[in-house]
A and B are shown apart, each in its own frame.
Chain A
Amino acid sequence: MKILDTPDIAKWVDEYAAGLLKRAMFKISDTEIAKDVVQDTFLAATEKLHTFKGESSPKTWLYSILNFKIIDYYRSKARQTVSPASQSLLKFFTETGEWNDPKKPRAWEDDDSHILDDPDFRLVMRNCLEALPEKWNACISMKYYLDKKGDEICQDLGITPTNLWQIIHRSKLNLRDCIETNWYNDH
């Protein structure tokens, strides 16, 4: 068994920090948070260095720590409570469940998938995603950024499938509305 000490960490930082940051930014869109998560990863690696047996490569080991840290981040975000006002569907629907007229989905003129390549459109999507309540943002980010299946998200966040489905529904209603307001009404 190889005895590892601080110089190795320094070498790892030099070798893997950029790659880890790139991965973190792919999974968490906020740069500052992604940097913190990578920093935490190296901190945890330093503390747990004695548990690293060299059975996997340092790179694999660091990336697995990073993955834990990313899920941890979303887990803490998902613990935030959502205000009753955000949860209410009355913004979108009448008491009987029909669309409120101003919130009725209109046909989007330019709804072809190529719009998804437009950096400005992506920015609108990103901002709309950020505007969601923390808990919903965490669920949606885990689903799409981390590419997790429903049951994995439920397990990671300790919520039921019905609960997740409701969160997705409310998030999508808000996202759709936000995109329509900020993209289609402005163009």
Chain B
Amino acid sequence: MKRLMNIMFLSCLKATELIEKKLAFKLSITEKIQLAVHKTMCEACSNYEDQSILIDKGLHNLGGSAKIDVDMDAFKKSILDKTNHGQN
């Protein structure tokens, strides 16, 4: 019974680890059950999972939003200066 309890009850540290494993890789059947059981009892870890998924989505779309605020003529000139120097 004690062994069963150990298998079924995860710490929050372990649960968040499994949440990230689930998002980045894959969980085994046992891990899936462990995590599901933990989340029914733990609101904080359920919040963590929702928020981690949201952050995932956000990170995927974070690139490319930076505005290009560069003086292109000066930038091109600096490249040319460098490359010509490299030729000598």
Cβ-defined partner of B62 (8 Å) among A22, A43, A46, A125 = A125
Q: Summarize A's interface: helix, strand, loop or mixed.
A: helix
Q: How large is the interface on B (under 10, 10 to 19, 20 to 34, 35 or more residues)?
A: 35 or more
Complex contacts, B37 vs chain A, CB 8 Å: none
Q: Does B55 contact A (CB under 8 A)?
A: yes
Bound-state Cα–Cα, A89 to B72, Å: 45
Assess the B83–A176 pair: CB atoms within 8 A: no
| Cα A93 to Cα B44 with chains together (Å) | 12
> Which residues of chain A (17-42) have a CB below 8 Å from chain B?
17-18, 21-22, 25-27, 29, 31, 35, 38-39, 42
Q: Please name all residues of chain B whose beta carbon is closer than 8 Å to the beta carbon of A104 when the two chains form the complex.
A: 44
Contact A150 B24 (CB under 8 A): yes
A164 to B17: give the CA distance in the assembly, Å: 12
B87 within 8 A of A: yes
| Bound CA span A151–B59, Å | 19
**A interface list, Cβ under 8 A from B:** 6, 9-10, 13-14, 17-18, 21-22, 25-27, 29, 31, 35, 38-39, 42-43, 45-47, 89, 92-93, 96-99, 104-108, 111, 113, 115-116, 119, 121-122, 125-126, 129, 140, 143-145, 147, 150, 161, 164-165, 168-169, 172-173, 175-176, 179-180
B residues lining the A interface (CB < 8 Å)? 11-14, 16-17, 20-21, 24-25, 43-45, 47-48, 50-52, 54-66, 68-70, 72, 75-76, 78-80, 82-84, 86-87
